[in-house]
Amino acid sequence: MTTPSVTQVADGTYFVDAGSVNWILLGDGRALTLVDAGYPAHRDAVVASVESIGHRMTDVEAILVTHAHVDHIGSIPALVQQFSTPVLTSDREARHARREYLEQATPAAVARNVWRPGVAGWALHIMRQGGLEKVSVPEARGFGDASPLDLPGRPVPVATPGHTSGHTAYLLPDVGAVVSGDALITGHGTSRREGPQFLLPMFHHDVDAAHRAIGALASSGADVLLPGHGPVYRGSIDEAVERALRSSR
């Protein structure tokens, strides 16, 4: 089992690093929100991360999804089967999670990019994590126009389409943080850069839209970035967005 690294970044806010992907835990008393849930192989690691902060999976009121790629929803089917936890995301991304359509880098796209530093090693790693499994979450439902969401942590959805059509980041105004999913990351197995950046173009459904979308994060007023890949970033989100945009030019 992957042993996750759990860091408390603010009151009731925990960043979980599973090595190749991250997820977030938001607490309010005994209740939790789990944001994303890693690869299929991370089911036990998700449970371990919840227990490491003194909770049980039955404390999780909902699993909130940034986007429905296998590295973010992979363990959800097993968790739903065992714990019947509700799964919420944007209305558009709920359809993606249910696999009414699929927007994900194909094996052919990865093969075309295997010459890039890190891609071959990353591909082998994700295969061991269940990255080639066909994962769907029929239980996924849209949260509509609610803002903030009536969930522990009171996350505020921020539409950030591009990586996927329904990708959503979540602002945590009470702690000055943004859960950015894959709209804005700080590191990845296919990247040799550190700090705020974009994933390689092959991972985005619409590259131009992905670059435009992070403008929605720039005005958040947050100073902590909790990405789907890479370490926590502390500093102006405005500057993080500008840094990512500069590196993509």
Cβ–Cβ under 8 Å, residues 13 and 177: yes
Residue 50 CA, chain-centre distance (Å), reads 17
What angle is formed at CA 55 by the lines to CA 78 and CA 223, rounded to 5 degrees?
Answer: 95
Helix, strand, or coil (residue 32): strand
What is the model's pLDDT at position 129?
87
What is the model's pLDDT at position 123?
82
How far apart, in whole angstroms, are the C-alpha atoms of residue 22 and residue 8?
13
What is the model's pLDDT at position 132?
78
Three-state SS sequence of 224-238? EEEECCCCCEECCHH
- What total number of domains does the chain contain? 1
What is the model's pLDDT at position 198?
96
**What pLDDT, in 10s, does the model give residues 73-121?**
999 999 999 999 999 999 999 999 999 999 998 888 888 998 888 988 8
| Section 51-73 average pLDDT | 97
What is the model's pLDDT at position 147?
86
Is residue 25 within a helix (H) or strand (E), and if so which, with residue range? Answer: strand 22-28
How far apart, in whole angstroms, are the C-alpha atoms of residue 184 and residue 191?
13
**What pLDDT, in 10s, does the model give residues 176-185?**
999 999 999 9
Is the model's pLDDT at 249 over the cut of 90? Answer: no
What is the model's pLDDT at position 108?
87
% of the chain exceeding 90 in pLDDT: 83
Is the model's pLDDT at 126 over the cut of 90? Answer: no
> Which residue range forms the structural domain that includes residue 57?
5-99+107-248
Structural tokens at position 223: 């100073």
What average pLDDT does the structure give for the chain?
Answer: 95
Query: Which residues are registered as beta bridge partners of 170?
Result: 157, 179
**What pLDDT, in 10s, does the model give residues 20-56?**
999 999 999 999 999 999 999 999 999 999 999 999 9
CATH of the domain at 149: 3.60.15.10
**What pLDDT, in 10s, does the model give residues 201-231?**
999 999 999 999 999 999 888 999 999 999 9
% of the chain exceeding 70 in pLDDT: 100
| Predicted confidence band of residue 10 (pLDDT cuts 50, 70, 90) | very high
Residue 249 CA, chain-centre distance (Å), reads 24
Is the model's pLDDT at 2 over the cut of 80? Answer: no
What is the model's pLDDT at position 247?
84
Helix, strand, or coil (residue 102): coil
Q: Could you give the residue ranges of the DSSP H alpha helices within the chain?
A: 43-52, 70-73, 76-83, 91-97, 107-112, 119-128, 207-213, 215-218, 237-248
